[in-house]
Structure 1
Amino acid sequence: MEFAKEIIGQYGYFAIYGLLALGVIGMPIPDEVLMTFVGYLASISVLDYSVSIAVCFGGAFTGGLLSYTIGRKAGRPLFHKYGKWIGVNAKRFNRVETWFLKYGSWSVILGYFIPGVRNLMCCFSGMSRMAMSRYVLVSGIGAFVWCVVFISIGFYVGVLT
């Protein structure tokens, strides 16, 4: 966390935006811890609470859109070519895709709260050809609620200490 503290101290909101975008794409960045820390910084008036939510939402949403695009453009060919190496055959892929077409919207919204799943849901939305307008709506809802929850937790922990 010391690294994130230094980056945020030096680059401010730009660092928060970039770290969250990379985290949602799949880089090993502890997004929940980062947002809780951002909330704490807002509670001690280093950052602004409302701006922090907007910046975190922007970063998470951007990362989600990039993951969706990667899934839409390259996801299927990669899974068909390399899926066997991770235990995904065509039958499993089709079964998951059928399930996703039925529950995909809720999966994207709730998936933001589960590390690792968040990355897969965004990418799989593109792979399953979820309509862009639908994805933007459900991803926006999920990203916004996720950001508000974790930033608020950090903020209120900071207020109580």
Structure 2
Amino acid sequence: MAPPLPGPLTHLAPLLGHYGYWAVAAVVFVEDFGIPAPGETILIAAGIYAGAGRLNIVVVAVLAFVAAVAGDNVGYLIGRSGGRPFVHRWGRYVFLTPDRFHRAEEFFARNGGKIVTVARFIEGLRQVNGIIAGTSGMRWRRFLAFNALGAALWVGLWVTLAYQAGTHITALYDEVTRYQLYALITLGVVAAALIGRHLLRRQHQT
């Protein structure tokens, strides 16, 4: 039986339950050429499942790595062949406005190849990394090398952390349940204090 996934990962349980490894590969793949998809989230969820014995961690890691590299290369091909006109025309459908694209391209140009590696860890830049590399004219072999390194680091980090969490999922849930009431009380007190301070300020202003 699969472990319960915490918080925002819960909605991915049916997807992983029905499609398993292919869900991980497909979601990571499409996210990496600009389509809004929870690639990083499903990778973490799959790592937790693997830690609980539901999936094979090696297969999860290999498929996620291949999908990440392949997805970014599709993005690179889109950027290289379609260029800026393509991005400006269709980018808004994946929340990539001309202004956002321009800022990302400037950032990319300043930092060169190393940004391809760390872009994997930056939300927003991860999804358009390949496209920007293509439009900026970066050589494909150079992009591929940095991209593969970034994918290996990204997959390795999240799979390892999630796998460790999955192997201790029962203990983690016990701790969360134990302190959940105290956390809610604390949040309630903080919220009340902020509201009270806001009301006092309004009284002083009037």
Q: Sort the TM-score into its range (normalised by shorter chain).
A: 0.7 to 0.9
How big is the alpha-carbon RMSD for the aligned residues of Structure 1 and Structure 2? 2.5
**2:79 aligned partner:** 71
Q: Give the whole-Å Cα distance in 1 for the aligned partners of 2:76 and 2:66.
A: 15
Aligned positions, number: 155
Q: Which amino acid aligns with 1:50?
A: V
Q: CA 1:156–1:96 in structure 2 vs 1: closer, same or farther (change >3 Å)?
A: closer
2:41 to 25, 33, 49: 33
* 3-state DSSP of counterpart to 1:47: coil
Per-residue CA deviations over 1:78-110 (Å, capped at 9, x if unaligned) read 357799xx564xxx95x9757634522111110
Residue 8 of structure 2 corresponds to residue 5 of structure 1: no
Q: Give the whole-Å Cα distance in 2 for the aligned partners of 1:82 and 1:153.
A: 36
Per-residue CA deviations over 1:102-152 (Å, capped at 9, x if unaligned) read 522111110100111112222110001111111110000101110111111
Pairs within 5 Å for 1:78-157 = 78=86, 86=97, 88=99, 100-101=108-109, 103-157=111-165
1:22–1:29 CA contact under 8 A, matched in 2 = yes
**2:54 aligned partner:** 46
2:61–2:156 CA contact under 8 A, matched in 1 = yes
1:36–1:152 CA contact under 8 A, matched in 2 = no
Q: CA 1:81–1:19 in structure 2 vs 1: closer, same or farther (change >3 Å)?
A: closer
TM-score, length-scaled by structure 2:
0.66
Q: Give the whole-Å Cα distance in 1 for the aligned partners of 2:98 and 2:74.
A: 25
1:104–1:125 CA contact under 8 A, matched in 2 = no
Q: What percentage of residue pairs aligned between the two structures are identical?
A: 27
* 3-state DSSP of counterpart to 1:115: coil
Runs ≥4 residues deviating over 4 A = 79-83, 95-99
TM-score, length-scaled by structure 1:
0.83
1:71–1:123 CA contact under 8 A, matched in 2 = yes
| 1:68 shift after superposition | 0.7
Q: Which runs of 5+ in 1 are unaligned?
A: none
- Relative contact order higher in (CA < 8 Å, ≥ 6 apart): 1
Q: Which amino acid aligns with 2:129?
A: M
